[in-house]
Amino acid sequence: MLKLCSKKLTRSGRRMRATPDKNDAFAVFFHNDSDVAKHLLSFLDTNSDGLVRRVSEAVKMRSLQQRLILEQQLAVVQQQLAAAQQQLHVMQQQLQQLQQLSQLS
């Protein structure tokens, strides 16, 4: 629902900007879904609580999905970091062994 509103409002904003002599306050280009949600919520009638609630839930769900994606990406990076640290530790041990061997000869 949010994406549909976003597309519709974006098209409307572009049309209004493209129309000469239209200095309408609503001629806004919406850059992302959160902008659309904010504007959409401000335009909704206060009597339509169900619709307001559904839009709010959609925005929250989108935020949760984005947070989960970021947490998954963070977990992957942390695993890569741990693997790199382990590899560094092994390389340091090998370097120490090589230094000891070079001192013996």
The tens digit of pLDDT for each residue in 92-105 reads: 999 999 999 999 87
pLDDT band at residue 41 under the 50/70/90 scheme: low
Torsion, Cα 11 12 17 22, to 10 degrees, reads 160
pTM: 0.46
Among the residues of 19-105, which ranges form H helices?
Answer: 33-43, 49-104
Q: Where are the domains of the chain?
A: 2-104
Give the separation between CA 7 and CA 20, rounded to whole angstroms.
22
Per-residue confidence (pLDDT) for residue 57, from 0 to 100: 81
